[in-house]
Amino acid sequence: MSRMPGAYLEARTTEIRDAAMRVFVRKGINAATMQDIASEAGMSAGAIYRYFESKDQLVQAVFEYCREENRALFEDRRPEGASLLEAFVGVGRTVWDEFGEPGARDRFAVRLAATLAGSREDDPLGGEMRRMHTDVLDRIESFVRQIQDAGELRRDIDPHALALTILSAVQGLRMLFVEFDEQIETEGVLEILNRMLRGFMPVREEN
Amino acid sequence: MSRMPGAYLEARTTEIRDAAMRVFVRKGINAATMQDIASEAGMSAGAIYRYFESKDQLVQAVFEYCREENRALFEDRRPEGASLLEAFVGVGRTVWDEFGEPGARDRFAVRLAATLAGSREDDPLGGEMRRMHTDVLDRIESFVRQIQDAGELRRDIDPHALALTILSAVQGLRMLFVEFDEQIETEGVLEILNRMLRGFMPVREEN
Amino acid sequence: MSRMPGAYLEARTTEIRDAAMRVFVRKGINAATMQDIASEAGMSAGAIYRYFESKDQLVQAVFEYCREENRALFEDRRPEGASLLEAFVGVGRTVWDEFGEPGARDRFAVRLAATLAGSREDDPLGGEMRRMHTDVLDRIESFVRQIQDAGELRRDIDPHALALTILSAVQGLRMLFVEFDEQIETEGVLEILNRMLRGFMPVREEN
Amino acid sequence: MSRMPGAYLEARTTEIRDAAMRVFVRKGINAATMQDIASEAGMSAGAIYRYFESKDQLVQAVFEYCREENRALFEDRRPEGASLLEAFVGVGRTVWDEFGEPGARDRFAVRLAATLAGSREDDPLGGEMRRMHTDVLDRIESFVRQIQDAGELRRDIDPHALALTILSAVQGLRMLFVEFDEQIETEGVLEILNRMLRGFMPVREEN
DNA sequence: TATGAATGAGTGTTCATTCAT
DNA sequence: TATGAATGAACACTCATTCAT
């Protein structure tokens, strides 16, 4: 009736999605009732159905949101004017910065839940998650290869294995971050990983 | 001829617990009905209640089982006659061997679910999981310190950070192992971590 | 035009409670399913839970209602301008009038059920029922004492025993009223009791 | 296989019936499981089915037993050599003696439960109970008539009403006896009733 | 005959979803 | 459009009853 119908709708949708995310993290997806979510969003349970077809779709939307957040993080971060290895380290910095952002734990928890849900038999979500992680993995691996090609990393390092190790460490740390309710000293881990990378640099002299 | 007192009961209990684990992994804990579990175990739903007081207790039993399996893994593996660092690498070998064991993916998936459940507001499980992980973390950290004391690792490596990094990598890899349905080349990761450790060895002068 | 705030809720609650009472009397409390009650109330089983937390609470509500009805009956009925004994007889009249009221048999049956339930080991209801009956008993007894003090009843009548006798007769008659489905000539009993009381009047010399 | 098969069977049957009665009183008929009864009787749940076809039949047997006990009480108690009124009072004595017998409360409680059960829609037990009470009532009424005929009771007393009053008082007192867990001074009530009867004697002289 | 493990029908309860207002 | 009462399908759990041992 008024103008900007789309904007309003989108704002409400986001509001509900965020409320749902908070409740999911707090009580678990199954234990969260539509009533809980509605209360958190400050509306009635029935109203949610104007924005989401079903609870399932709402769950998918929350998953989607967190997945996209993650995907975006790993994309196209290539600070100029540094060595490739330093650029790679810079991406690490960006990834680690997320630990300090508000709501990070909640997003991590949802991603964890999504991963778990995706691992279920015939869950359509599984494909999405796997695709995203394969994508991230490929990106890291190709980055590593470039660093190797630039002569900044030993050639006897398996790029796939290194990518897998790094992604594992990131995911595992996020898991612990969720589990220990943010009481984790994440910086030390980044430093260890960076030192590992530097340790993998080719020995220049004498060579 | 008459009854096998505790043996039968225990066997049955284990049977149900394992059936439950499989169903939990396949369908998720909440979606798994007692009927599903009973069918998987080849019995009627009512019969389960002879062995477990409630679905909740069954879930706890499955969690407990997987938790203990994990705890045991990290305990007191110290192969004789090798340097401490090599012993540490040996523990890594043992931990990695689990990836090849039957049912490993299921156990990992359950631990993931348990971690997630434990991260919920006021979930009593949370404490258990955190305690176990803290325990494992402490064990790794103290191991690292011993290696440092033996002069086999640089002193400027933060033992806590290294322990955290290693545990993160293990947990993250398990997560990916679950997600990619065992299609993960885990060995490469172990190798990378071992190379990292060797890279952290002090530079011997005479070498 | 919008909603009637408390009135609707209270009306609905009463409706359900009354429906439950009818079903309880007809089929017994345990045999009465929530479905039965819902059907009697013309709604779905789930809807009841908007008004009562559980079947147990519904049972308590029915008990409570019948208990209060009974308590109210024995309270403060003191018609003016008559002798105390006549006032007492008047209370009897009031109590007996209940036999003629619609729904009386149902309420009696519920009270019977409540008494029985309260007699169970550790049933919390027991205390409530005993307290109410002790209260009624005390009220009758003190009334009898006042009549004695006013010289309208022999002093060698034990007030407690008389109160107990009267309450017993009332309760027993109600029980038979329930059992014989209202086909009981209750009036005769009141008359007998009144004659008994008159028989207990002191023999006036000049009479 | 041994001799006295019938005696053994009967003994077991009685044992189970009594155990059932105790459990019924303690926990209520519906809450009492066959397991509870079996435990109380010191046997396995399955074994009961050798003696009773179903729980329902067991309930009926317990009801039957208590009903017969009651019927027997009111039968043929006519002490010789006294006035009819005194004989009537003697019957009262006998009835009241039951209050002091062991297990009286339990039997009363079961009778109460039976009455309640019998009051339900289409319950076949109802007829039995009503028949018994009608029988008792008739017996009392005819006794009262005989006393009137013997000139020991005023003719303007309605025998039916008096019988109803007496039975009501007995039943009501038993109910309170159950409710207050035997902490009831029953003797006083008998005395009141006896005084009432004496008050109903015709005034001999001057007439 | 006794046992007690297993069955399976039945019940209370929850909650996503709908719809009259 | 929003509300929240109502629905109804689904599920955990209980327990009378059966039956192999």
Query: Is the confidence at residue B3, as pLDDT, over 60?
Result: no
Q: Which two tokens stand for residue A181?
A: 């309710």
Cβ-based contacts of B164 with chain A (< 8 Å)? 173, 176, 184-185, 188-189
pLDDT at residue C52, rounded to an integer: 97
Residue D207 lies in a domain: no
pLDDT at residue A127, rounded to an integer: 86
Owning domain of residue C115: 59-199
Are C108 and C9 in a shared domain? no
Total tally of structural domains belonging to chain A: 2
* Domain limit, last residue, from B52, B68, B88: B52
Are C35 and C76 in a shared domain? no
Q: What is the CATH number of the domain that holds B38?
A: 1.10.10.60
Are B78 and B135 in a shared domain? yes
Strand F surroundings (CB within 7 A): A 1, 5, 9, 12, 43-47, 50; B 1, 32-35, 45-46, 49, 54-56; C 3, 12, 38, 43-47, 50; D 31-35, 45-46, 49, 54-56
Cα C106 from Cα C18, distance rounded (Å): 10
Least Cα separation, residue B30 to chain A (angstroms): 7
| Average pLDDT of span B172-193 | 96
User: What is the CA C30 to C1' F14 distance in angstroms?
Assistant: 14
pLDDT at residue A79, rounded to an integer: 59
Are B70 and B167 in a shared domain? yes
Residue D206 lies in a domain: no
Are D95 and D138 in a shared domain? yes
Percent share of chain A, pLDDT over 70: 92
Ranges in chain C, pLDDT < 50: 1-3, 206-207
Are C15 and C64 in a shared domain? no
B20-23: Cβ within 8 A, 24+ apart: B20/B58, B20/B59, B20/B61, B20/B62, B21/B62, B21/B65, B21/B66, B21/B106, B21/B107, B21/B110, B22/B106
* Domain limit, last residue, from B29, B52, B75: B52
Residue A22 lies in a domain: yes
Query: Is the confidence at residue D4, as pLDDT, over 60?
Result: no
Query: Is the confidence at residue B207, as pLDDT, over 50?
Result: no
User: What is the CA C46 to C1' E20 distance in angstroms?
Assistant: 18
Are C108 and C183 in a shared domain? yes
Residue C206 lies in a domain: no
- The model carries a pTM of 0.89
DSSP string across C25-71: HHH-TTT--HHHHHHHHTS-HHHHTTT-SSHHHHHHHHHHHHHHHHH
| Average pLDDT of span A194-204 | 89
| Average pLDDT of span B114-138 | 89
Assign A153 a pLDDT band (cuts: 50, 70, 90).
very high
Query: Is the confidence at residue B138, as pLDDT, over 50?
Result: yes
Percent share of chain B, pLDDT over 90: 75
Residue B63 lies in a domain: yes
Query: What pLDDT digit, counting tens, does each position of A37-67 carry?
Result: 999 999 999 999 999 999 999 999 999 998 8
Quick one: B26 exposed, middle or buried, by C-beta within 10 A (0-12, 13-18, 19+)? middle
Residue D109 lies in a domain: yes
Are C28 and C85 in a shared domain? no
Are C86 and C187 in a shared domain? yes
Which nucleotide's C1' sits nearest to the alpha carbon of A35? E15
Q: What is the CATH number of the domain that holds D42?
A: 1.10.10
Percent share of chain D, pLDDT over 90: 74
pLDDT at residue D76, rounded to an integer: 60
Are B128 and B187 in a shared domain? yes
* Domain limit, last residue, from C36, C52, C68: C52
- Select from A26, A120, A133 the Cβ nearest to the Cβ of B27: A120
Residue A204 lies in a domain: no
- A:B CB pairs within 8 Å: 165
Cα A99 from Cα A189, distance rounded (Å): 12
Contact (Cβ atoms closer than 8 angstroms) between residue A37 and residue A23: yes
Are C160 and C102 in a shared domain? yes
User: Which residues have a Cβ under 8 Å from the Cβ of B15 and sit 6 or more positions away?
Assistant: B41
Contact C165 D165 (CB under 8 A): no
Assign D128 a pLDDT band (cuts: 50, 70, 90).
confident
Query: What pLDDT digit, counting tens, does each position of D157-204 carry?
Result: 999 999 999 999 999 999 999 999 999 999 999 999 999 999 999 876
Residue D205 lies in a domain: no
Position with higher pLDDT, D141 vs A127: D141
Other CB atoms within 10 Å distance of the CB of residue A42: 10
Torsion-angle region of D3 (φ positive above 0: left; ψ -120 to 50: alpha; else: beta): beta
Are A64 and A31 in a shared domain? no
- Among A84-88, B183-187, C173-177, the range scoring the smallest mean pLDDT is A84-88
